[in-house]
Structure 1
Amino acid sequence: MGRTRRGAVAALAAAVALAMCTGCGTEGRAARDPGPGATGAARAAAVELTAGQSRLLERAEQVLIGRCMAQRGFRYAVTEPPPQARAKRSFPYGLDDVAWARAHGYGGRDDRASEAARRADPNQRYFHGLSARGRAAARTALMGASPAGLTATAPTGTTLTASPDGCIARAERSLYGDLAAWFRVKVVTMNIRPAQEAKVRADPRYAEAVGAWAACMRAAGRPYASPDDSRAAAAAFAEELPPDRADAAESALAVAEATCATGTGLSRVSQALDHSYGDEFRARHRGDIDLRRRLQNAALPEAERVVPPSDRPHEPAGGTETTDGPDQPDRTTPSTDTSGGPHA
């Protein structure tokens, strides 16, 4: 995929473990979009997946990638993302959870653990063991010869492209039927949050709140103009200090950032703006959100056929979706680490 498929290249080149497709066999199942006027059972299918159902689709996609890659002469192992990747949080407008900051800093320790897990990923090890020619052939097998044939415009305004060939496309077609429709709604819904966050950051009310936060940080001996600046300073600790000292310095700075975010208007203003713009974007893209859900729900029987009961992920306690999907107003998002995770 033009730019998004680079995430898929990372799935092969950096971890090939991105659960990106869903089947290498039953091609051509039509997407069952009941249309905007549908009611009753047809509309009831547009329900949000539970966390367990979402992970089942991810697992099925990986299984089918593996089958497809094997048919093309390559290995692909089904993997699970490391626990720290599932639990990782993102604070796009400034860290505002003091307890989390005290325990995790900016996530440096978690990032090191994720990186170690990524290096140990069997797909990564296999890929890097191939010759340069073999790696190029493996990429082509996974993603197709060139990112052309599928096109969609994200809410950010960026046009993304992908190949309708390769194991990714073959598998997604098997699960979701109408590959072009699935590609489009996936690109749209997975890019709602970036567009939403850009609107928040451009809002004068957010800029005013950042100014108050910066004044608080200066008073605390931390002269940073924005949360981005303090985060950049924390990243420098990892390059300049031994791990233990870097973690301590990072945590102290993160606690200062979170304390000022909650003590000034930054946390409150950013949450309110995020909720407001989130509502706006979700209303604007409601048709794509519903179609994605219908396609995913329609894909579940196929996923259940692909993944044996003994290999299915367990439903987390509560049974609700934990990812920050297009209908989720929560500002904190899970990691997009590619080891075993979904792709865009």
Structure 2
Amino acid sequence: MNETTAARVAAWHRLVAAKAVAPDRFAAAADSQLAGLDDATRETLLELVDAEPGADGGPVSRTDGTFNYIAAAVAEQTGVTGTEWLHRAFFHRLLEIWARNPDFSRTLRTAARTAGYREAAAEFDRWLDGPMTSDPDRRPLLARQSNPADAITHDAWCDLLAGVPRPSHIPPPTARALPRERLTAADVDHTAFSQTVEAWAGGALRADPGLDLPVAARLDVARDLWQRRRFAKVQMLEFGWPELTARATTAGGPKWLRLLESAVCGTADEAELPEAWRTLQADQRLVEFVRIRPAVQRDLRRRLRPGLGNRRCAVLPTGPERPVAVVHRRRSSQ
């Protein structure tokens, strides 16, 4: 962890602690907790104070869709997700929408300049995930603004915005950096699109280096939260199922623990497990615990060395223990 990351994470810890100790005086105390940080980072960290446990064991914010997307990416792509990867994902999505529906892209760019952008984008998500409706009065604000004549059906909107990141996941400053001119056929050709994305992302970041600050702050907090969540889960696993931790630290143990986690979560065939490991699935309490994210086989191997039993080889960093979670949206099939 470099000094900048450490400063951001430490400031976020102080904010969370200040709100927990004296919520009625939090607004007055927040400035002192964020001293020395740039305005974009200060604003971002204040938005993340509401992070709380979600349905599946990872971080979720009630108001910050960008953080929810980043936290989900960190959980699923450990060691891969960085600010460069995130910027490419955001610009790839924005330019993909721009190529298919320039009117909606212009609406996004304009809305991203207003204070109500996040709520408008979240309203659009709820509409996409809800039941199909032909009532034009129930369309969200962004749909009405970009398509006043209601020429685009609910299914067509779902097709345009299927997958992630969604508009609610993209930071407003990044959405404001959308190009004004329409992309050409050469720009969106599948063989050249990745170069177009790289060119636009690189150009936007060179024009405004501040685009990186809110993304980096969210990434730092997401990584810190998952690290703490993993540590807590490994600790609970050690004391709740010592026989499992003993097996996991023997030769081949990490492989079987990984397969057990995958089988319990329905992403692998339990027949691949040895009989001694398959019997563990009869313990419903263990099964429910293993299903809680994040997966722990890498962390368990680092934390317990073969032959050391339950001796700890790691120390929990100081700071607030706030296990939190990410909710994945599912598009309605109705």
Per the TM superposition, whether the score is higher than 0.5 is no
Using CA pairs below 8 Å that are at least 6 residues apart, which structure has the higher relative contact order?
Answer: 1
**What's the TM-score once normalised by structure 1's chain length?**
0.31
Bigger Cα Rg: 2
**What's the TM-score once normalised by structure 2's chain length?**
0.32
